[in-house]
Amino acid sequence: MLFNQNDKGFYKKKTSLKLNGNLIDLSHPVVMGILNITPDSFYDGGAYTTDNSILKRSGQILEEGAHFIDIGAMSTRPGAIEITTSEELSRILPAVKTVKREFPEAYISIDTYRSDVVKVVYDEIGEFIVNDISGGTFDDHMFETVGELNIPYILMHTRGKSASMQNNPVYKDVVKDVILFLSSQLIKLKQRGVCDIIIDPGFGFGKTVEHNFELLNRLDAFRIFELPLLVGISRKAMIWKELGITPEESLNGTTVLNTLALAGGCDILRVHDVKHALESIRLVSKIKNSTK
């Protein structure tokens, strides 16, 4: 049997998320569409820097069926140059205001590791999901801020900032080490009163290609947290380096690995290609339902 349903009784995962006064059902996998408003992202850098292009991309993400739009104003790819807080805000604020004005009911996620950015954006648009690639390690005030604002938080694992994260990352056991880090940070988050937490193993952040495939192969280990699990492997180097192709040629590989992530218990797929991710979800769900 490809997808084993016999383990349902051993744990009880949190299957909802509160945002904008609504309870979002995560009992069935959903998609988070990526909107990079950066000039230097690894795949679509520079493609969405005007109001028209931002609105077109946002509309596409929603029309294709994504639950969330994840907006990032600073590239965090390995080797990316860190920009200032003021520059990040100068990019993110016009974009989020434009999106919320045109799509007021849209659920927004903001890809940032700075608490000051979180505060300013919250004052402008209200609630959103904080997608922090650092897991609270780059800004000592992040957990406090998220707790005070009472907004959802994506807790991701990384090792070092973009400029150095890929400098020979070493783990005794990458899965165990990532779980230990997430466990430690979860305690701190809960002490700050943060209730809506999503777990992200951090594919491609401070990890070799081999580390990434080990994480994917043992993804079910993250069920121990009983929290929604996000996987972001869309067009990443673990795909195109392994296949000897480019990010632009990596859609098929992304779909294959997204399917395996769903089999491993993923609840949210963070992707560039929403339509294809939802097709994977639909087919995997069909198989799972047929085994009940």
What is the chain's pLDDT, residue by residue, as a tens digit (292 residues)? Answer: 344 444 444 457 899 999 999 999 999 999 999 999 987 555 555 567 788 999 999 999 999 999 999 999 987 776 677 889 999 999 999 999 999 999 999 999 999 999 999 999 999 999 999 999 999 999 999 999 999 999 999 999 998 665 555 667 889 999 999 999 999 999 999 999 999 999 999 999 999 999 999 999 999 999 999 999 999 999 999 999 999 999 999 999 999 999 999 999 999 999 999 999 999 999 999 998 876 6
Strand intervals (E) in 169-286: 197-200, 230-231, 268-271
Q: Which residue in 270, 282, 286, 292 is the catalytic one?
A: 270
* DSSP code for 115: H
| Active-site residue flag, 57 | no
**Sequence-ordered list of residues with C-beta below 8 angstroms from that of 43, at least 6 positions apart, any chain:** 36, 234, 235, 247, 248, 272
| Active-site residue flag, 119 | no
Q: Which residue in 218, 236, 241, 292 is the catalytic one?
A: 236
**How many C-beta atoms lie closer than 10 Å to residue 250's C-beta?**
25
> What is the pLDDT, as a whole number, of residue 288?
84
Distance of alpha carbon 218 from alpha carbon 174, whole angstroms: 10
> What is the pLDDT, as a whole number, of residue 46?
58
CA distances from 155 to 111, 142, 197, 259, 278 (A): 11, 11, 7, 22, 23
Fold of 27-290: TIM Barrel (3.20.20)
Strand intervals (E) in 218-274: 230-231, 268-271
> What is the pLDDT, as a whole number, of residue 44?
55
Q: Which H helix or E strand runs over 107?
A: strand 107-111
Q: Specify the length of the chain in residues.
A: 292
> What is the pLDDT, as a whole number, of residue 160?
66
Closest by CA position to 54, among listed 72, 32, 28, 67 = 72
Domain ranges of the chain: 27-290
